[in-house]
Amino acid sequence: MGPFQTVPSRLISQLYCGLKSPAAKGTKICLTMARPSSNMANFREVFAKAKHIVVISGAGISAESGLPTFRGAGGYWRKWKAQDLATPQAFAYNPSRVWEFYHYRREMMQRVEPNPGHLAIAECEARLHKQGRRVMVITQNIDELHRKAGTKNILEIHGSIFKTRCTSCGVVAENHKSPICPALSGKGAPDPETQDATIPVEKLPRCEEAACGGLLRPHVVWFGENLDPSILEEVDRELALCDLCLVVGTSSVVYPAAMFAPQVSARGVPVAEFNMEITPATNTFRFHFQGPCGKILPEALAPHETETVS
């Protein structure tokens, strides 16, 4: 695969969630550019002209609200990494442990609030909508903080922790109960010395559909699972239409999302990365702004002097 080639859009729906590129070993799904610019004034000029903006967000923006990313040093729950628990195999082997992990995360996510980065994106979307311009958020996050901030146009490619799916009948339902079931009350402590609760499977969250009662699982995409083809078709459409792409708080290592922005950049569309550190994709983008999203995004997405409400 040459440096200017991208994965054909028709293949995206066949991709699964993982930490490595689905491309053949030794290939790259990006193009090489000169060192990206950090000139905010130049970015603002591009922003002012954009009619269809796509924002790709990852765990970094939620980390600024106090949520752990489970990446890098200290990225453990008890003695396990997220990728040890967020798999169909882990759930089949020990559903009690996996539900403890997700109960801990649900409780944390219910307590935190959107930060200025989330709010800046939501305000920008609402403001530009009045001007006949579009903002679409494509998020890898399962915490619903973008929704909580007021974002309307959003594709949650990895699902939501506040939805469940029945392993028997397949029904998907919203669920914001705290705790999600009585047996999980007070459970899920992340400390390494904490022992598993070993909750009997019949006491774990169960389907409330008539005559079902099947075991529920979080309606999220686990490592090794296929992403929803219908959502990825929408993603593909948005990426094809956008004339500006923002990459916000993502490490660009989880696929297939790590391919989205390089695909856009490969066809000459400006991409701006906002992150605490450089990533494997940084040098494929036109702009890179290093620092907290909550500090930089409000400035980047503020009303431009040329804006007029239509």
The catalytic residue positions are 158
Query: CB within 8 A of 90, min separation 6: which ones?
Result: 84, 97, 98
Before 22, cis peptide (omega within 30)? Answer: no
Q: Cβ-count burial of 281 within 10 angstroms (0-12 exposed, 13-18 middle, 19+ buried)?
A: buried
Checking phi first, is residue 71 left (phi over 0); if not, alpha (psi -120 to 50) or beta?
A: beta
Question: Which neighbouring-strand residues pair with 248?
Answer: 57, 274
Residue listed under structure tokens 């890179």? 288
For residue 148 the two structure tokens come to 């909580």
